[in-house]
Amino acid sequence: MKMNKRKGFGISIYIVFVLLPIYWLLIMSFKTNQEILGALTLWPQNFTLANYAVIFTDPSWYNGYINSMIYVSMNVVITLLVALPAAYAFSRYKFVGDKHLFFWLLSNRMAPPAVFLLPFFQLYSSIGLFDTHIAVALAHCLFNVPLAVWILEGFISGVPREYDEMAYIDGYSFPKFFIKIFIPMIRSGIGVTAFFAFMFSWVELLLARTLTSVEAQPIGAIMTRTVGASGIDWGVLAAAGVLTIVPGLLVIWFVRNHVATGFALGRV
Amino acid sequence: MNKIPDNRAWWLVLPVFILVAFSALIPLMTVVNYSVQDIFGPNSAYFVGTDWFREVLQNENLQASLGRQFVFSAAVLLIEIPLGIGVALMMPTSGRRGSLCLILLAIPLLIPWNVVGTIWQIFGRGDIGLFGWALNEIGINYNYTGNTGDAWATVLLMDVWHWTPLVALLCYSGLRAIPEAFYQAAEIDRASRWAIFRYIQLPRLKSVLVIAVLLRFMDSFMIYTEPFVLTGGGPGSSTTFLSQTLTTMAIGQFDIGRAAAFSLVYFLIVLLVSWLFFTAITHLDKEK
């Protein structure tokens, strides 16, 4: 019992450490700039929603969120569509070059995005995809697809092959078996994979910023606008920051029951 | 599981192959192509062989950046791995408090990296940030934009804040997979808390720790956005890490040949160190 109390104390301290910077951002977004730059206050004295109003009334602000959501969703869909069959193949079959291919895929997760900046910029410009959502979605596949194949392979290997064989005996064709029986069986794995793909695409900025200019500009790039000639507009910057945390919170809420198994990436 | 030999499986892998070839192989070939040429304009480039590579390897600026990068990644691993294991051991094992803990811990992972930088930029400032203000109030002279030590401490603290939850959540899910019977057996043997950790929990955590170490190494080695927003690489170039040096070279100075050679060296280092980690850990496994 004494042990548990000490544990509870330790974890509480850690959670305070995690939440304190976020708390500071949150209350800052409800302050006026005068109050922010004035004396330090732990709670907004003149509670204001003006900072949020700036963002929600200006299309060039809120379009940033929409752009980010669009390319992230595209990326999650593309990632799952290509990674599912591949993960199944890696889990179930032996084929020429399978191990090499698997390691080559994973090696792409180790490629620093900075390495690919310039070639990506030129590649997407030359095929007319520069400043489109699909360009960012495809670029993010560089690190999301290898990770997705790897996570899904773990989950699929946890499903005994007898299920596959039984479906064939029952006369299911492969596509029908895959869609009707197999995908529902590994749906928690798919949820977890989608969560990770969302996460890594949502937080990335370097590639997203380089591949866009106006039409598909992510919110992260738009946030730099708060730095003006008269200094930084801290209130709006804080509000914009708070709003980038919301989608992540919604997503984690949806997968909360699978987080514990999910973070083992299907491999425990 | 024994796998069935069947080359038709290539059809299932083909979409991934095409996609990754498009988004990795073509750009990589472009980089290789640049790295052996000196490019003045669209139509004037000439072959220079390995000159860029030789120059990059001797460039003091890059060596300094590489040194800082290794120190940073080592510090990140040394702090985050033990801390992450500790946090995972302290987490409530089940129920509502358990899932609340999970969600709260996962929040930093879901914040865009530039916003992570912004959060700490604000939090650490002496005038408007709680952290910087509190340190100055208790008499510590703290200024992350002017003092190299403070800048390093802040960048490290930010990374610990940002990524320790990943290690903790990985370990937590590893701990959940240990059957209750193991603990009961330990209780009958009157095993100490340390013995339980050393002989039951740690061995079962090995597979997730491999993932945690590899992910943390790779991502800390490629870090760009957070320190760029927080310190801009300063003061001076004291917190300029490899990705930032590379980006400045490629986009800022448009020094394509040198940047391409540097890129390849950079990528090879990540691959090599990851491979070393992986073989070292799996080797340890076999010896036992």
A38, A145, B124, B273 from A139: Cα distances, Å: 43, 10, 33, 25
Average pLDDT over residues B212-219: 88
* Strand-pair partners of A228: A231
Residue A20 contacts B where some CB pair is shorter than 8 Å? yes
* pLDDT per residue as tens digits for the range A198-244: 989 999 988 898 898 888 888 888 888 777 667 788 888 999 999 99
Q: What is the pTM of this model?
A: 0.88
Residue A227 contacts B where some CB pair is shorter than 8 Å? no
Contacts with A7 (C-beta within 8 Å, 6 or more apart), sequence order? B89, B90
The whole-number pLDDT of residue A189 equals: 85
Residue bearing the bigger pLDDT, A43 or B86: B86
ipTM: 0.86
- Determine the residue of chain B that is closest to A248 in CA distance: B110
Residue A1 has pLDDT above 60, yes or no: no
CB contact under 8 A, A115 and B267: yes
Question: In Å, how far from its chain's centre is CA A197?
Answer: 5
Mean pLDDT of chain A: 86
The whole-number pLDDT of residue B148 equals: 87
Judge contact between A157 and B1, C-beta under 8 A: yes
CB contact under 8 A, A138 and B24: no
According to DSSP, the β-strands at A227-228 and B37-41 are unpaired
Residue A257 has pLDDT above 70, yes or no: yes
The answer, yes or no, to whether the previous bond of B235 is cis (omega within 30 of 0) is yes
Judge contact between A245 and B107, C-beta under 8 A: yes
Q: How many CB atoms are closer than 10 A to CB B255? A: 15
Q: Which of A81, A83, A108 sits opposite B24 (nearest CB)?
A: A108
The whole-number pLDDT of residue B159 equals: 95
3 state SS for A205-252: CHHHHHCCCCCCCCHHHHHHHHEECCEECHHHHHHHHHHHHHHHHHHH
Per-residue confidence at A16, pLDDT binned at 50, 70, 90?
A: very high
* pLDDT per residue as tens digits for the range B43-100: 666 677 777 788 777 888 888 888 999 999 999 999 999 999 999 999 887 777 888 8
Residue in A144, A143, A124 with CA at minimum distance from that of residue A210: A124
Residue B286 has pLDDT above 80, yes or no: no
CB contact under 8 A, A138 and B22: yes
Domain B66-254+269-287: CATH class, spelled out? mainly alpha
d(CA B136, nearest CA chain A) in Å: 13
Mean pLDDT of chain B: 85
Per-residue confidence at A40, pLDDT binned at 50, 70, 90?
A: confident
Average pLDDT over residues B183-210: 85
CATH of A57-262, one of 3.20.20.100, 3.40.50.970, 1.10.3720.10, 3.20.20.70: 1.10.3720.10
CB contact under 8 A, B12 and A141: no
Please name the residue that has the structure tokens 């530039």: B114
Residue A99 contacts B where some CB pair is shorter than 8 Å? no
What is the maximum alpha-carbon separation in chain A? Answer: 75
Contacts with A149 (C-beta within 8 Å, 6 or more apart), sequence order? A83, A86, A87, A90, A102, A105, B16
Rounded (10°) CA dihedral A123, A126, A131, A133:
-60
Rounded (10°) CA dihedral A108, A109, A110, A111:
50
Judge contact between A54 and A239, C-beta under 8 A: yes
Q: What percent of chain B has pLDDT over 90?
A: 18
* Strand-pair partners of B47: B37
Contacts with B237 (C-beta within 8 Å, 6 or more apart), sequence order? B61, B64, B65
The whole-number pLDDT of residue A202 equals: 92
The whole-number pLDDT of residue A268 equals: 46
* pLDDT per residue as tens digits for the range A138-152: 999 988 999 899 888
Within a 13 Å sphere around the CA of B164, how many CA atoms are in the beta-carbon half?
25
Domain spans, chain A: 1-48, 57-262
Average pLDDT over residues A121-127: 88
Domain spans, chain B: 6-31, 66-254+269-287
* Strand-pair partners of B44: B41
